[in-house]
């Protein structure tokens, strides 16, 4: 039996990679990963880290990470293994290679959104911690639940600070567990009023006006081009309880506690992810339902505290 080789992908692998994703994700729309031209562009650009497994000249596994420079993070996902090679630890080996390479390049946060128990177990095996879940962000056919998992580099851990004032987020069972599992300290510092988030191509211009005296927020409705929206999500600094209260009133709930998510200067700040799943979501792999229900219980007390704060 030949030894499987694990190495960085190059543009000559594009055809085989695309074919592997077509076979492995038949019921999940991944157009950019099944088009050889698109794959070649991603393999060569600076936004992706791509590793493949080869048996001789045949590609039998693939894992890719997408880099977000705005907060020095990378999302690992799109793991696929040829069905004839399943059960041999190929996905785990590829994932570990991607993570080791990314951290060696100075990236600080590893995160991913597993949709099944197999990838969840791989993530746990790499030291990732489940910090919450997404209740329907992704819609391959119908809206799906995806878990949210994270791992911090040593640099990110050293830079991380908590708010000076007591915040209800840190009283949730989820935040307590995440801090314990990640072995995070409690160094405190004043949080900024605002940190600019990610830069993405979008189809919406959303000017807003906040009147401090009236405590009113006006959104420029004439700028919307959303179409039919089924899911709403936002990420806030963990000390912004006033904002959380507003989003609670709009039907949002807290679904993830994300330590060190935002970066400004020499410090990293915690965040919470809130969402309003307008259309009900399900788990593609029902074996992760137990994890989802566990997370729901962990956030319940914190959500009620924030909802009635002030």
Q: Is residue 96 classed exposed, middle or buried when 0-12, 13-18 and 19+ CB atoms within 10 A define those classes? A: middle
Q: Is the pLDDT of residue 117 over 60?
A: yes
**Percentage of the chain lying above the pLDDT 70 cut:** 85
- Domains of the chain in start order, with CATH, are 5-156 (3.40.630.30), 158-307 (no CATH)
Q: 5-8 and 48-55 as β-strands: parallel, antiparallel, unpaired?
A: antiparallel
Distance from C-alpha of 15 to C-alpha of 13, rounded to nearest angstrom: 6
**Percentage of the chain lying above the pLDDT 90 cut:** 56
Tokens representing 42? 């991603």
Q: What is the pLDDT averaged over residues 245-253?
A: 90
Under the banding of pLDDT at 50, 70 and 90, the label for residue 224 is very low
Distance from C-alpha of 75 to C-alpha of 59, rounded to nearest angstrom: 22
String of DSSP letters for 46-76:
SSEEEEEEEETTEEEEEEEEEEEGGGTEEEE
pLDDT tens string 260-307: 999 998 999 999 999 998 888 888 788 889 999 999 899 873 344 343
Distance from C-alpha of 86 to C-alpha of 116, rounded to nearest angstrom: 15
Within 8 A by CB and 6+ apart from 293, the residues are none
Q: Mean pLDDT across the chain, nearest whole number? A: 85
Query: Smallest Cα–Cα separation from 33: which of 110, 106, 140, 121?
Result: 140
């Amino acid at each position: 039996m030949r030894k499987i080789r694990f190495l960085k992908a190059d543009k000559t692998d594009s055809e085989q990679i695309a074919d592997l994703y077509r076979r492995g994700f038949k019921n999940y729309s991944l157009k950019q990963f099944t088009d050889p031209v698109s794959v070649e562009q991603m393999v060569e650009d600076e936004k992706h880290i791509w590793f493949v497994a080869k048996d001789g000249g045949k590609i039998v596994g693939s894992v890719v990470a997408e880099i977000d420079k705005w907060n020095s993070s990378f999302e690992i996902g799109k793991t696929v293994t040829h069905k004839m090679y399943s059960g041999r630890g190929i996905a785990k080996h590829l994932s570990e290679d991607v993570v080791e390479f990314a951290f060696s390049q100075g990236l600080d946060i590893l995160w991913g959104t597993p949709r099944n128990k197999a990838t969840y177990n791989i993530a746990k095996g790499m030291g990732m911690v489940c910090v919450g879940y997404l209740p329907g962000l992704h819609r391959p056919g119908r809206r799906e639940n995806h878990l949210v998992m994270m791992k911090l580099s040593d640099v990110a851990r050293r830079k991380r600070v908590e708010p000076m004032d007591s915040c209800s987020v840190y009283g949730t069972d989820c935040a307590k567990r995440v801090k314990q599992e990640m072995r995070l300290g409690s160094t405190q510092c004043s949080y900024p009023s605002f940190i600019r988030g990610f830069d993405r191509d979008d189809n919406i211009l959303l000017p807003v006006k906040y009147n401090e005296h009236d405590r009113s927020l006006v959104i420029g409705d004439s700028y919307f081009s959303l179409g039919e929206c089924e899911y709403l999500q936002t990420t806030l600094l963990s000390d912004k309880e006033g904002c959380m209260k507003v989003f609670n009133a709009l039907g949002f709930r807290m679904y993830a506690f994300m330590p060190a998510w935002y970066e400004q200067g020499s410090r990293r700040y915690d965040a919470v992810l809130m969402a309003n799943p307008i259309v009900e979501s399900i788990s593609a792999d029902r074996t992760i339902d137990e994890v989802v229900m566990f997370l729901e219980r962990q956030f319940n007390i914190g959500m009620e505290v924030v909802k009635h704060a002030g």
